[in-house]
Each structure stands twice: as C-alpha cells, then as structure tokens.
Chains A and B, each alone.
Chain A
Amino acid sequence: MVRVGFLSLAHMHAYSYGHALKQLPNVELVGVFDPDQERGQEGAERMNTKYFPEASRLLTQVDAVIICSENSRHREFTELAASHGVHILCEKPIATTIEDAKAMIDACEKANVKLQIAFPVRFNTPVMRVKEMLERGVIGEVLAIRGTNHGQMPGGWFVDPELSGGGAVMDHTVHVVDLIRWFLGKEFVSVYAEADNMLYDVSIDDCGMLSMEMEGGIFVTQDPSWSRPATYPTWGNVTLEIIGTEGVIDLDAFAQNFMVYNDQQRKISQKSFTEDMDLGLIKDFIEMIEEDREPSITGFDGLQAMAVALGAYESARIKKPVQLR
C-alpha cells in the first residue's frame, strides 16, 4: 500500500490526480494540506479525504505527496516533503527559477527521496504511439518539429507573475519541450521568442511564439498562446508536426473527440474520448515507488524544460536568440 497526500490544491490538476489515485487498488489517499484552509477543506471533501491544517502532520503519515501549489512555491513544499523523507510528484513547471529547480533536485537527492515532474502528456496514448513510430524510424531522420500548446486564459494565480513565474510562455512551453526531449533524446541549444500581452487585460504574457534549435541542428517552433477564446469548444490543444527525411507525422494529441451542440445552455463543446493520461502518470508514479526505481520524468527533465521557457523570456526581452548553456 502506498500512502499519498496532497500539498496544496492551487493547481486544478490536483482533482484529476486525486481521481486517478482513487482508481488504483494499492493506494491510500491520506489527506490534503493547503495553506488556503477553505480551498483545502473544500478540496478534501471533493476528493472524499481528510484536510490537514498542518503540513507536517500529513507528511508523517504518507509515503509520497503530490505538489499542486502555485509554481513559485514548488521549492518550499518540495524541501519540506524531502525533509520528511517523502517521495514527490511535482506539478509542472518544476519551479520558476533555475536556482529553485536545482535546490529541489539537490534536496531530494540528499534526502534520498524520489522527485518526479508531472508531464502527463507523455502518457497520452497517441503520444506514446508516435514515440514508438519515431523509434522505428518510420519518417527517417527528424529535421524539424512544429508544436502548439494553445489554451484558454486560465486566470487566477496563473496571471500573477509572483506566483506563476510567467504567463503563457511558462505555462505552455514546458509540455511540448518535454515531449520533444523525450522523443528525440536530444537537448535544446538555443531559443528565440516573441512574447507579449495582447489578448487579455492581465499583466503577464498571454501570447507568444518560440523558435528553437536542438542538438544536431533540428529546429522546433512552438506556439504557447492562450489564444483559445472563452467560446472555444474545448480547453486547447497539444499538436506536433514532426518532419523527417522520409515522411511527416501530424500528431493532435486530443483529436479523439466528438461535438455536442446544446441549445439549453447555448453551448458548443468538444467532448473527449481520449484515454485518461493523468491515470497513466499517477500509475507510473506509484509503480516507481513500489518498485523502487528511478522516476520516468526526473527533476532534471523538469529543469531542462523550464530553462527553455526562461530562455524564451530572455530572448523576447533582448530580441535575439539565446543560447541555452
């Protein structure tokens, strides 16, 4: 039995992870800590578990925690969990600064606890299939990739730079960068970016465009914009067009859906029948603990993805490509 708790429910993915935990036979959801008591109590109720007013009380009763706090607080929660010898699944992005990310990785190493970063899209079934295709070399040698990770404007703490560390570029670059690093086993070496606040009355970047280079001269573009309007029938997308010397693969990770037109609510929505990737992520995390193996998505993976987003902000500021180390 693996005993799991939540540290903060600020990120709404917590509920989907909680749902996944409930489906696994060998897992006990012990409880929730959240510095925001109201959110914590409500969330605990929703997930049918206990609210802990003190993090340390929860940490003495669990083997692992899932950290769904605001991005800039990932470090404090990670250090706290590590100091209690508790394994960690941390929501992406790993942190908001290189320094914080490195401190998190160090703390977990020293405490000998496992740190996994939540990049659930790696567990999307079509995504996994494409990884297989690339491994079989069906499109020859990869030359270039065009990615998008569009979304709606999330609001809340996501648009508070202090808590999120960045807007659309921070929020939506890391998934795509992580997938591509995972697909190709190569690192990003430079990034050029445009980033701006043009879509919403918020004081953070809500749109942008990245053009990056990887080891071996592969180039990648990525559109992280919160450019899906409120009327859009779904939350957004993750797409990758992978161009090889012998073919091209067009991946639309959430294309498995149907449309619903509802007159009563005057609403058009796209309903997904994609398999639950969050369940895949959580299952993998639990198995890692049970089997005492290395995390499939490490702190280093989290750091590398975040570094590209930070490089993008630097590039947008100086209007030049930025070398990534």
Chain B
Amino acid sequence: MIRVGVVGYGTMGQVHSQAFQELNDVELVVVADPDPDRRAQAQRDFGVDVVSNIEELLRSSSVDLVDICVPTYLHETVLAQAIVGNKHIFIEKPLARNLEEGQRILELAKDYDKKIGVGHVVRFTPAYTGIRESVLQGEIGQAAVARTFRGGSQFPQGWHDWYADFDLSGGVILDLIIHDIDYLRWLFGDVERVYAKTTHGRTTAHLEWAMIVLRFKNGVIAHVEGSWTNFAGDFYTTVEIAGKDGLIKYDSRETDPIVKTTLAEARAGGGVTVPENPAARSPYLLELEDMIGAIREDRAPLVTVEDALGTLKVALAAEKSARLGQVITL
C-alpha cells in the first residue's frame, strides 16, 4: 500500500485526489491546505485527514508520497520540506517559477534516495503519445515544421487570483504552453534558440496571448502558441507536424465523440451544446500511475527533475526573449 498526501487542494489537487482513488493499493490519506473551505471540501469528498500545511502533514501522518499541487511560486519551498521529510515526491509543472529555484531543486534532487516526478501530463495524453509514436516510426519522415496551440478558454481561476500575477505564475508561457515546449523537447530533443512574443503587459491581467518560435538542434522549426482570455471560449489544443514524407494534423475540437444538446439545458437558459471527450483512464491517472510504478519498481518516473528543468529553461528563455525583444540562444 502506498500512502499519499496531497498538498494544495485547488484545481489540480482535486483532480489528483480523484485519480488516486482509482489506483490499486494506493490510498489518499491526508490533504494539506491553508484554506479551511478547501479542507472541509477534501473531507467531504474523500473522508481524508486534513491539515493546514506540509509541516503538519509530515508531523501527523505517515505518507510515502507527497503530491505537490500548490501555486507555482511555492513549489520550491514545499518541495524542500518534503525532501526533509524524506518522501517520494510528485510535483505539478512547471518545476519552479524561475531558474534559481529550479536549479536549487535539481541540487536537492541529486543523490536523493527517493523518487521525484514532475507533472508534464501531455506526455500521458493519448493524442500526443499517438502522434509521437507516428513521428518516431517515421510515418512522416524527418520532421521539419511543428505547430502547437493550447488555450482559447477563460482565464484560469486560482487561489487569490495568483495566475493573474505574472511574478507568481509566469503567465501563459511558463504555466500553459510549457506543456507543448516539454512535449516538443520529448520529441525533438534540445532547443537551439528561441524568439517569443506575448501580449503580457499590453492589456488587462486577464488576457494573454503568446507565440514562440523555437529552433531545435535537430533543425526542426516550431511555432508554439497559447492563450488565456477574458472572453468566453472553449479550451482546445492543436498539433501539426510536417515532415519530409508527410503531415500530421490534430485538432481537439474535431475529436469530440459526443456532442449533446438538450431541451433541459435550453430551458435552463444555457442552451449550450456540450462536447464530451471521455476517457476511462485520464492523462492525470496515467501520470500518477507512472509515478506509483516508479516507486514500486524502483525506476525513474517518465518526467524527471532534470527533464523538467530543461523544459523550464526553454520557457524562461521565451519569457526573456519576449521581454527583451531578442533572440535567446540556449
């Protein structure tokens, strides 16, 4: 039995907590969150113990795995404490808010005898793993140009609106399209140079649109785009990869197997059409299953601290490029 404690019971903490229920011989035993409402909710949802912070969690419960789902700017602090507690650790992406924090995490992770995995969940998302397989099997020949999009939805709502504070979240580049940067690195390897643009600083805090041009060491040219908006819209993602012998195209909006429009919803005044893309095993379940597997089998998780730091460096280079209007060579 692997006993789990979740730190931070916001959007991600709740998603992870649900996923742990579906894993065999894994038990969510405690949730830590400073917000009393969130603690009450965790108790209601799963009947688990609740505490207000990681120190208390480490003192009061014996857990094997600490799952860190706190806002990004708190990642390093909470992770350092979990390391003092000598626990296996799963931490949400991005690894940290800045390079110094990321590097200190890497130092802490060196020679650590427990596992640390990072939540770059796109590596567990079926469309994305499928596309990667196709590329690696040579179905489109040598890849040349890649395009990704992620966003379109409303601005994320976080604890005290922390997403809207660029210093805390890093905005669309560091928080959102870091997913695609990580995915493309997983496919194509290291990035040579970065040139990025963002609307950050030119508009209200609740609207950001970013576009990054990446050149990989293997030659691939990529366009990575993402958005958080203050106008209504549905979240969607796209991927397009052109190679010497073909092209792969994916648009999540075209893959909803169920679209439902009902009189009940129309009467309720919503009148919205609701697409559904169900999966028996969500990508979050798959990433946590990999983490549990790493602990049980004494192997590295799919996304290591080194990997996540490599991805963070590219995202930070993009942030810097956008700020300075310069090309950043890595």
Contact = CB atoms under 8 A, between A and B. Distances in A.
Interface in B301-323: none
B325 to A, nearest CB: 7
Contacts of A200: 244
Contact of A321 (B145, B246, B325): B325
Interface in B187-225: 193, 195-197, 199, 202-204, 207, 209, 211, 213, 215, 219, 221-223, 225
Given A192-B327, A320-B327, A321-B325, A144 B209 contact: yes
Contact-residue size bin, chain A (C-beta under 8 Å from the other chain): 20 to 34
B185 interface: no
A217 B197 CA distance: 10
B211 A219 contact: yes
Given A209-B145, A211-B195, A211-B211, A223 B203 contact: no
Given A146-B225, A208-B221, A321 B195 contact: yes
Given A219-B197, A245-B207, A228 B213 contact: no
A228 B195 contact: no
Contacts of B145: 198-199, 207, 209, 223, 225, 227
Contacts of B247: 227-229, 232
A198 B142 contact: yes
A27 interface: no
Interface of A is mostly: strand
Contacts of A227: 144-145, 242, 247
B213 A229 contact: no
Interface residues of B, number: 36
A198 B218 CA distance: 11
A321 B197 CA distance: 12
Interface string A267-288: 0000000000000000000000
B245 interface: yes
Q: Taking chain B's interface residues, is the majority helix, strand, or loop, or is none over half, making it mixed? A: strand
Most A-side CB within 10 Å, residue of B195, B243, B326: B195
A227 B329 CA distance: 26
Contacts of A148: 147
B227 interface: yes
Given A144-B211, A194-B213, A243 B199 contact: yes
Contacts of A228: 242, 247
A178 B41 CA distance: 55
Contacts of A217: 202
Contacts of B229: 248
Contact of A221 (B203, B211, B233): B211
Interface string A227-244: 111011000000000010
B202 A211 contact: no
A207 B242 contact: yes
Given A192-B327, A209-B222, A211-B211, 11 more contacts: A143-B203, A194-B221, A196-B219, A208-B221, A209-B213, A221-B197, A223-B147, A225-B242, A229-B242, A229-B247, A243-B209
5 contacts: A144-B197, A209-B145, A227-B145, A243-B209, A319-B193
Interface of B: 142, 144-145, 147, 193, 195-197, 199, 202-204, 207, 209, 211, 213, 215, 219, 221-223, 225, 227, 229, 231, 233, 242-247, 325-327, 329
The 10 closest A-B pairs by CB, nearest first: A227-B242, A198-B144, A219-B197, A194-B221, A143-B199, A221-B211, A207-B145, A243-B209, A192-B195, A225-B145
